[in-house]
Amino acid sequence: MKKIFKGNIIFTKEKEYFEQYENGYIVVDEGKVKLVTKELPHKYKNMPVEDMGNQLIIPGFIEKQELLEAVSMQQGIKLLHNF
């Protein structure tokens, strides 16, 4: 089952580089992140989106402590577990 989340997303494409999408989207299928994007592709437009508002979404397998230290100035951090 696919789920779509909208919110402020921070993730790593490379080991030492964090990327942040303000009001971005995460598409999850069968508990795995399939897509992290700034704009929702047309094929997902009719699917329900869980809008997390101004919350920070951190997808994937990460060293949470390092990441949280890197974004310690960010407000409204909310970790979602078990998509």
Over residues 31-64, the pLDDT tens digits come to 888 899 999 999 999 999 999 998 888 886 545 5
For the residues 25-34, what does the mean pLDDT come to?
A: 87
25 and 4 in contact (C-beta within 8 Å)?
yes
pTM above 0.75, yes or no: no
50 and 5 in contact (C-beta within 8 Å)?
yes
**Which residue type is seen at 82?**
N
pLDDT over 90 at 73, yes or no: no
pLDDT digits (tens, 9 = 90+) for 4-22: 999 999 888 777 788 899 9
Q: In CATH, which of 2.30.40.10, 3.30.470.20, 3.40.50.80, 3.40.30.10 is domain 2-70? A: 2.30.40.10
| Helical H segments across 9-59, by residue range | none
- Residue 75: its pLDDT value, please? 47
